[in-house]
Amino acid sequence: MSALDGTQPKPEDALAAVGALRRLADRVEDDAVERALADGWTWLRIAEALGVTKQAVHQKHAKRLKEK
């Protein structure tokens, strides 16, 4: 990783990377929650695996996944 091997990315690249990482994390989470539910996971188990409260994960995903 460039930030760890001594070569620092330019601030504009690092700042853009933060946004890209957040968007990537959101997509990975959406997809993973969807597949966990399809596999029969409970909201509580998903929440524990994500390290957030059940309320948080439910609020973020339940409506989205019910609307289909």
Partner 1 sequence: MFERFTKTAREVVLQAINVEAAALGARTVEAEHLLLALSQTIGVEHDTLIKALEAETAASLNAVGVSLRPHPSPSQTRQPRMGASAKIALHRALEMALARGDREIRAEHVALGVLAADVGTVPRALAIAGLDREGLAAKL
Which residues form the interface with partner 1 (CB under 8 A)?
1-5, 9-10, 12-17, 19-21, 23-24, 26-28, 30-31, 34, 63-65, 67-68
Q: How many CB atoms lie within 10 A of CB 62?
A: 13
Residue 35 backbone phi and psi in degrees, to 5:
-75, -35
Closest approach of partner 1 to the CB of residue 37, in Å? 10
CB of 12 to partner 1, least distance (A): 7
For the bound state, the minimum distance from the C-beta of residue 62 to partner 1, rounded and expressed in Å, comes to: 10
